[in-house]
Amino acid sequence: MFPSSCTAMRDHSIEGPWPTGDRIMVCVSPSPFSAQLIRTAGRIAEGMKAEWLAVYIETPGRSPLNEAERDLLARNLQLAVDLGAETITQTGNDIAGELLELAKKRNVSQIIIGKSLHTAFWERIHGSIADNVIRRSCGASIYVFPNKPEAEKQKMLPFPTLRIPLINYLLPLMTMALVTILAGLVYPYLGLANVAMILILPILFSAVKWGTGPAVTAAVVCSLIFDYFYIPPVPGFIPADLPYLFSLVVFIIVALLTGTLSGRLQQQVISSRQREKRMAALYSLSRDIAAVSDINPAMEIVARRVSETTDSQAAILLPDQNGKLELRAGASSQDFLNDSELAVARWAFERGEIAGKGTKTLNSAVGLYIPLRTEQYSQGVLCIKLDIKERYLQLEQRRLLEAFANLTALLVTRIKLAELAKESQLAAESERLRTALFDSLSHDLRTPLASIIGAVTSILEGEGFFSPEASHDLLQTIKHGALRMNRFVGNLLDMAKLESGLIRLNKDWCDIREIIGVAVRDMKDPLRGRPLKVEVSPDMPLVKVDFIVLEQVLVNLLDNAIKYSDTGSEICISASQDNKQVKVTVTDYGQGISDEDLDHIFDKFYRLKSPHQVSGTGLGLAICKGLIETHQGSIWASNNPRGGLDVSFILPLGEAIPYKPVDLDGEENNVH
């Protein structure tokens, strides 16, 4: 597959924009004229079938936006979203440079920008963003739309607002008064130059603490104080030496530079804190819901996190089996989810669009309703009661809330898919169990039943014709068939008890020798003609286990060893103590098994391929595994170097091991 032209150009460090397709970028600001630019960009993008971006560059050095400007900016960005644009907000001091850098990264071919109707003198002082973009652009087409005078008038507020509180001007003056008193005290000892340095300190402090305006005010007052009290003739404002006027210019320049840098730094700190808060909130939510598998606790976590982050009431509505929204977590009807609010939530759920307060849809609602959308359909609704004064949500607020909604939608989808996967797994397991049971019933029940029926029929029909030896053989056949059927049914019942958790252990201190002896006695007939070797450490302690359960484990292991080894071959049982554990191993000297079979030998209904005619359900070792694990032990299988298979299990000794009572003759008594 060939790489795309964009990828190839990026790999070869070819400067963009690359002519691989049209992409349009429109520059947005808190101005009524931006709405016209956005609509124009939308029409152009629709006509060209091109992607387009709506970009706002926030400049930290400028005064923060007031409430009306924030609302207007949010409305413009929302308009761009409604028309199909991708909205981007960036922070930077050089607006033209940020726009062109973004255009280069996103391979923008056309840039649409508005030009304010400022005077030539104003543009010469402050610069024109449109002119800078045109002058510095390379490769992209620039469309400049001059602003309309009516839009400029609409942008003007009816009454000017004082953005900096009056106290921020009074505090620098008070600081200046204190520093002036200090300078007057040290003037006889330090001289004029050092006093000038002392008077600069409140200017720097005002710039860092209160911004550019108070700093300039402090600079003017500082210059007047320095001129009146320290520059000859004293006191007086007209200096004898005119070069002293240069101090006033220095003070003001220092105030402007430090105030501007301080303002930018403060805005950048505020922006960084806001971004960090949003990222921390999303990370915290994603971490909390990562391991949750139940829908109700998960929704409670989401509602609590959203409420804490937005400082508001939050709730989550999910559809029931009939598709009707029901409250799963968070606020209730007593808070704000009354019938009218639920109607707005249903509208958002059915349409898959955000609605409610802070949007252009059903804005009179008390809450904000964000659908939990996935690619297929809405999974529910995130409901938030926000305390906002603006008519429209700010872009960053909306993005954060939509990110919460997207995470919640993914969480709901994941839990539902996990439930479906679990149901599918259970259905597949049930089908496999049903098939295995049918196979086992057809072989392991019908075969002994057929032998029992045949033997009984022979005895009944041939009464008086069979010798005592022949009758005894027929009765032995009936016995073996009945025992085989009993073992088969017992294994099924044991597995059912294990899976349902009905196994209850009756632990007591037991001798492992006695358990091995009882198991060997139960398998006396199958072991007939087989050499059996039992090796138990002489210092073997008592173990606290369920005698009957552990006997069943050994019976199953011996039965497995008999089935998968040659007739007449030796079987070995060994038991030893190792590091506060008891280890028991049953060894046969058959053909061994493959590594693939070793990984599945303890699975339910798993049957090994063997040249021998092997009967059974494949439950024996699976039952052994379950019974050993109920004792907090472990079991495994490995091929013996001499041939055959070792099946071993270990049991923890746990509590203090009692000594075996010894009689006067020095012989041990059985303890059970």
Q: The CATH number of the domain where 61 resides is what?
A: 3.40.50.620
CB 337 within 8 A of CB 384: no
With respect to residue 497, please indicate whether it lies within any of the assigned structural domains: no
582 pLDDT higher than 50: yes
Average pLDDT, the chain: 76
- What is the residue whose two structure tokens read 């060893």? 561
Question: Are 27 and 141 members of one domain?
Answer: yes
Domains: count for the chain: 4
Are residues 116 and 145 part of one domain? yes
Domain boundary among 379, 394, 416: 416
pLDDT of residue 2: 35
Q: Which are the contacts of 77, defined by CB distance < 8 A and separation ≥ 6?
A: 28, 54, 56, 87, 89, 395
Position 325 in a domain: yes
Question: Mapping DSSP to helix (H, G, I), strand (E, B) and coil, where does residue 368 land?
Answer: strand
Mean pLDDT across the stretch 510-537?
88
Q: Is residue 457's pLDDT more than 70?
A: yes
Residues 48 and 144 in one domain: yes
DSSP string covering 162-188: --S-THHHHHHHHHHHHHHHHHHHHHH
Residue 573, pLDDT above cutoff 90: yes
Q: What is the pLDDT averaged over residues 289-310? A: 83
Least-confidence region, from 134-138, 234-238, 342-346, 440-444:
440-444
Instruction: Assess whether pLDDT exceeds 80 at residue 524.
Output: yes
- Quick check: is 456 in a domain? no
Looking at the fold, whether 172 and 126 belong to one and the same domain comes out as no
**Confidence class of residue 302 from pLDDT cuts 50, 70 and 90?**
confident
Residue 502: the pLDDT is 62
Across 504-522, average pLDDT: 88
What are 48-57's pLDDT values in tens digits? 888 898 988 8
pTM (predicted TM-score): 0.48
Please report whether residue 612 resides in a domain.
yes
| Together in a domain, 620 and 554 | yes
**pLDDT tens-digit readout, 386-414:** 777 666 677 777 778 888 888 888 888 88
Examine the domain organization and report whether 332 and 260 are in the same domain. no
Q: Does one domain contain both 559 and 605?
A: yes
pLDDT-above-90 percentage for the chain = 4
pLDDT in tens, 214-229: 877 777 787 777 777 7
Provide mean pLDDT across the span 247-260.
71
Q: Tell me the C-alpha to C-alpha distance, in Å, between residue 182 and each of 173, 177, 198, 201, 384.
A: 14, 9, 9, 12, 55
Range of the domain at 186: 167-268
Angle at 566 between CA 562 and CA 567, to 5 degrees: 75
When pLDDT is averaged across residues 568-577 and rounded to a whole number, the result is 90
pLDDT tens track for 462-480: 666 777 777 777 787 787 7
Phi, psi of 141 (to 5 degrees): -85, 135
7 sits in which H/E element: helix 5-11
The residue out of 268, 303, 325 marking a domain boundary is: 268
Look at residue 78 in the predicted model and tell me its pLDDT.
80
pLDDT of residue 658: 56
Query: Based on the domain organization, do 252 and 299 belong to the same domain?
Result: no
Residue 491 lies in a domain: no
643, HSE (Cβ side, Cα atoms, 13 Å): 9
